[in-house]
Amino acid sequence: MKPPIFGYDDRYFLECEYSREQLFELQNQILSIVSKGSSDIAQDLKTAIDHKEIDLCLRACFSKKLVYRERISVENQVPVYRYYTN
**pLDDT at res. 81:** 96
Burial label, 26 (beta-carbon count in 10 A; 0-12, 13-18, 19+)? buried
Domain range summary for the chain, segments of one domain joined by +:
38-86
CA-based angle 72:63:46, to the nearest 5? 60
Tell me which residue of 85, 84, 86 sits closest to 72, measured CA to CA: 84
pTM: 0.90
**pLDDT at res. 2:** 80
Model pLDDT for residues 61-85, shown as the tens digit of each residue: 999 999 999 999 999 999 999 999 9
**pLDDT at res. 1:** 72
Model pLDDT for residues 4-59, shown as the tens digit of each residue: 999 999 999 999 999 999 999 999 999 999 999 999 999 999 999 999 999 999 99
